[in-house]
Structure 1
Amino acid sequence: MAKGPGLYTEIGKRTRDLLYRDYQSDQKFTITTYSPTGVALTSTGTKKGDLFLADVNTQLKNKNVTTDIKVDTSSNLFTTVTVDEPAPGLKTIFSFRVPDQRSGKLELQYLHDYAGITTSIGLTANPIVNFSGVLGTKVVALGTDISFDTKSGAFTKCNAGLSFTNSDLIASLTLNDKGDSLSASYYHTVSPLTNTAVGAEVTHSFSTNENTITVGSQHALDMLTTLKARVNNYGKASGLIQHEWRPKSLFTISAEVDTKSIEKSAKFGLALALKP
């Protein structure tokens, strides 16, 4: 795999993971098992209030081809076939959903030492075409992410991003929502030994003239237990503790409280992931 700027989705990803990943206010249970032939079966159940959602995902790997088939409680069938490196640096992804006949999509990803390109097209008569490209190095990268609807003849998405990365700091700047939203993010590794890091994201909406500021941090109490916390300028404070009680099996408890409305009850979330 090329060691270049990566794909567009990786711009600001470390900050997003720090601030938003694993936070939830629902109850989620995931269990993964493996058959002797190497087939991975993952069952997921999520309780959202009085609503219970579930899905079962089967993954089969054969050399450089990975096939994922998922069925959910709404009787939707999702299929994704990924061919890794049919040519150096290239990845091909074909996906579709049943019964939606317009959901078919073909995606190509290409990674180079100085570029990362993703392009996809819907397999319909009037498809939506997506393109994202990043140029640069592992230190500085500049990219764009656009979508074009061939039926309406209009751009449905037009984003741009810039990132800077060194050994302990990652900074990024993105322009989203067709130029209506500007976001700046920052990630700093304080101590690699304790996995301690801090991060912040500032988003400005030009149409509403509103700013959203979110700051967060993480710290490893030991090799198996991690604490995370975040707060935004609207007074929403969240925290979680995640414990790896056995290899690849995680137990996560999270909570969110509105500091400007203490009379409201806090939201709690619980996630349990089991892997052999």
Structure 2
Amino acid sequence: MKLLQIAALAMLCLFCSNPAVSTMQEISEKNSNVGKGREILLKAVAAAGGLETFKQIDNFRIKTNSVIFQSQGQTPLTVTEVIQLPDKTKQTMALKQGKRVQVLNSDQSWKQVGNNISDLSEAEKREMRRGLFRETINIFRMTASDSLQVEYLDKETIGGQSSHILQIKNQSADFFRLYIDTATFLVTKKVYQGAPEVGLVTLEEKYSDYRTVDGIKIPFHTLVRANGRKFIESDVVEAKFNLPLEDDFFLKD
């Protein structure tokens, strides 16, 4: 081998082993993944109704008939959630045993079980905030915001369905994986960790039966698995946008 070739190979080895060069390559690759992730997310927004449509949403109400699957049996319930973006939500759960209400009103929060009204625990508040962050409509409204970090992770194919996998992260360091169909660009799944208080289970929400309501495509069926086991199944029975809410709607009853 010629000396120049040996020298060139030596320089190549030095180049590849140089930590600074490696770091620059990692930064370049990460920037590329960030750009690709944002591009795919924008396509998902367009497929579901368009960015301008989502920006016009102030609040919405989703009502579902749901079933919770537990070792001791199944628990049917009706859940009505009213969300006023970006930081207010009121969840009303009607069970056979009675009604439960949970409210996050910006920095204030409360719950009602039967006739008993009390403040939410810090863990309950944190989980409601995390739920608001993961809400698809909220994510789509924030697509162009610098406060939302979007990174392309990978692509997977299961059962003939291919999905792009994005990591979505907020300024509080909460994050989840968002799966987007490579053909339709509709959201097919979210994967995230549950609260430490319940053992850091891996939760997977799968979406199907998309229908258009007021120009917005939303999934009418959701299946939630906890560590791979069927946990909750829900069907939307009502979806309404931009309701005339009273000023005291999120205040304690």
TM over 0.5: no
TM-score if structure 2 supplies the norm length?
Answer: 0.28
Please tell me whether Structure 1 or Structure 2 has the larger radius of gyration of its CA atoms. 2
TM-score if structure 1 supplies the norm length?
Answer: 0.27
Higher strand share: 1
Does 1 or 2 have the higher relative contact order (CA < 8 Å, sep 6+)? 2
